[in-house]
Amino acid sequence: MNTPHTTHHTLLKIGVLGAGSMGSGIVQIAATQKHQTVLVDLNEEALNKAAANLKNILARMVEKDKIDQATADVIMGRITFSKNIADFKDCDMVIEAIIENLEVKKKVFAEMESVVSHDCILASNTSSLSIASIASACKQAERVIGIHFFNPAPLMPLVEIIPAVQTSEATTTTSRALIDSWKKVTVLAKDTPGFIVNRVARPFYGEALKIYEEGVADFATIDWAMTEIGGFKMGPFTLMDYIGNDINYTVTESVFAAFYYDPRYKPSFTQKRHAEAGWFGRKTGRGYYNYAEGVEQPQPKKDEKIGKEICDRILVMLMNEAIDALFLNIASREDIDLAMTKGVNYPKGLLVWADEMGLANVLAKLEHLFAEYGEDRYRPSVLLRRMVRENKTFF
Ligand SMILES: NC(=O)c1ccc[n+]([C@@H]2O[C@H](COP(=O)([O-])OP(=O)(O)OC[C@H]3O[C@@H](n4cnc5c(N)ncnc54)[C@H](O)[C@@H]3O)[C@@H](O)[C@H]2O)c1
């Protein structure tokens, strides 16, 4: 990319491949940020649906006086809809958001590279695939990078920027500056399974499910503990019902496999059975809770002592995961904390929270679990042990 382009982001033409929920959200952001955009999907119906959805969203923004009609028309006018990858030919960056399948992604990356100019950046919005493998499909692998938005893309501030081993410094710098110019919060993550958020957040679901399976408490009580005592916006079971147990289970399973079956990431039968039963959550009317009309929701047992135990157990597992991510240089301590507050709305960054709880306390709680269960799942991070030994804090 040449200099004028890097300093005047509005001049860039942006391509988006895949008109599903993520692709249409990304194109909305880019068009709102004054870019000419091309949205390509092989499926005509997906394109029509995306166009209709985008019109509706803009119409609602006009109704709410967030933008005027003229602006809505201009934004819509900046988007070209196409079924042909060749229409990416003048793009300065293309962001891919198609089906989560490595073989298919590699095929489209090779195809995209054959039509774009030699300085066009090719990015993937993948949640779980290795950027290095996707990049390997390209002759100029140094132009390939991960740019991971969260759902819904126009509303969630976080974007993870993931350079592969092959990615050039220039590709990373230009990509991050561009997404920053879209008023997003960017964090830099290593090309490892789950990047930052989908790795560090695993215990929020996994430990909650384990607590339930042990019969310590029911779904409603665990959700109550995490919201009322922990200060989280949503409890783990309510959140899994939102995300969908099918999707959340698949992510857990793929992170587990990608970490060479590290027992820390072991999926749960409870969630597997819910997914198998078709109890995906809100979208199917039933998940851990029953969303049918008129059904009374179960009430939590508000025992403060048990609530605090549940909350502390999930929290120290989350903190341990964040600390281990820092230990393994997945991201900086600032970015690890930003990722969890801006990507999944945690009330506090986990590292700053661990400082507040006292690192010696965090370690003691983990060691208690480790001794009690004798499971590798509870092993405290080496970095946590060192920090306690040296009497240090993260911030
Ligand atoms: N949904 C999320 O919460 C979320 C969050 C972050 C990242 N992601 C990632 O974003 C990507 C897209 O996810 P989504 O939820 O928007 O999917 P989706 O199923 O809503 O949309 C995918 C779109 O890609 C199109 N498509 C499939 N193969 C294609 C091809 N070869 N060429 C052109 N178009 C093709 C489909 O027609 C469909 O319209 C995935 O890699 C996913 O892992 C999803």
CATH (domain of 129)? 3.40.50.720
Question: Is there a single domain that holds both residue 299 and residue 213?
Answer: yes
Domain end marker among 188, 219, 251:
188
Give me ligand 1 centre to Cα 22, in Å.
Answer: 6
Output the pLDDT for position 107: 98
**Residue located nearest, by CA, to atom 7 of ligand 1:** 127
Output the pLDDT for position 128: 87
Q: What is the CATH number of the domain that holds 324?
A: 1.10.1040.50
- Find residue 160's DSSP bridge partners: 148, 187
Choose one of 48, 99, 103 to mutate for the ligand 1 pocket test, by most ligand atoms within 8 angstroms of C-beta: 99
Name the active-site residue from 9, 35, 148, 274: 148
Q: Report the atom number in ligand 1 closest to the C-alpha of 243.
A: 3
Give me ligand 1 centre to Cα 20, in Å.
Answer: 5
Q: Report the atom number in ligand 1 closest to the C-alpha of 19.
A: 39
Choose one of 22, 44, 184 to mutate for the ligand 1 pocket test, by most ligand atoms within 8 angstroms of C-beta: 22
Give me ligand 1 centre to Cα 40, in Å.
Answer: 12
Question: Is there a single domain that holds both residue 274 and residue 311?
Answer: yes
Q: Report the atom number in ligand 1 closest to the C-alpha of 21.
A: 16
Give me ligand 1 centre to Cα 29, in Å.
Answer: 16
Question: Is there a single domain that holds both residue 57 and residue 132?
Answer: yes
| Range(s) of the domain holding residue 145 | 3-188
Choose one of 16, 26, 41, 250 to mutate for the ligand 1 pocket test, by most ligand atoms within 8 angstroms of C-beta: 41
| pLDDT tens by residue, the chain, 395 residues | 444 344 445 569 999 999 999 999 999 999 999 999 999 999 999 999 999 999 999 999 999 999 999 999 999 999 999 999 999 999 999 999 999 999 999 999 999 999 999 999 999 999 989 999 999 999 999 999 999 999 999 999 999 999 999 999 999 999 999 999 999 999 999 999 999 999 999 999 999 999 999 999 999 999 999 999 999 999 999 999 999 999 999 989 989 999 999 999 999 999 999 999 999 999 999 999 999 999 999 999 999 999 999 999 999 999 999 999 999 999 999 999 999 999 999 999 999 999 999 999 999 999 999 999 999 999 999 999 999 999 999 99
User: What does the alpha-carbon distance between residue 35 and residue 236 come to, in Å, rounded to a whole number?
Assistant: 38
Q: How many structural domains is the chain composed of? A: 2
Flag whether 194 is in a domain.
Answer: no
Mark whether 368 is an active-site residue: no
Give me ligand 1 centre to Cα 389, in Å.
Answer: 46
Output the pLDDT for position 11: 64
Flag whether 31 is in a domain.
Answer: yes
Flag whether 193 is in a domain.
Answer: no
Residue ranges lining ligand 1, Cβ < 6 Å: 17-23, 41-43, 46, 97-100, 104, 108, 125-127, 149-151
Q: Report the atom number in ligand 1 closest to the C-alpha of 100.
A: 41
Flag whether 395 is in a domain.
Answer: no
Flag whether 358 is in a domain.
Answer: yes
**Residue located nearest, by CA, to atom 29 of ligand 1:** 98
User: What does the alpha-carbon distance between residue 41 and residue 18 come to, in Å, rounded to a whole number?
Assistant: 5
Q: What phi and psi values does residue 127 have, to the nearest 5 degrees?
A: -95, -25
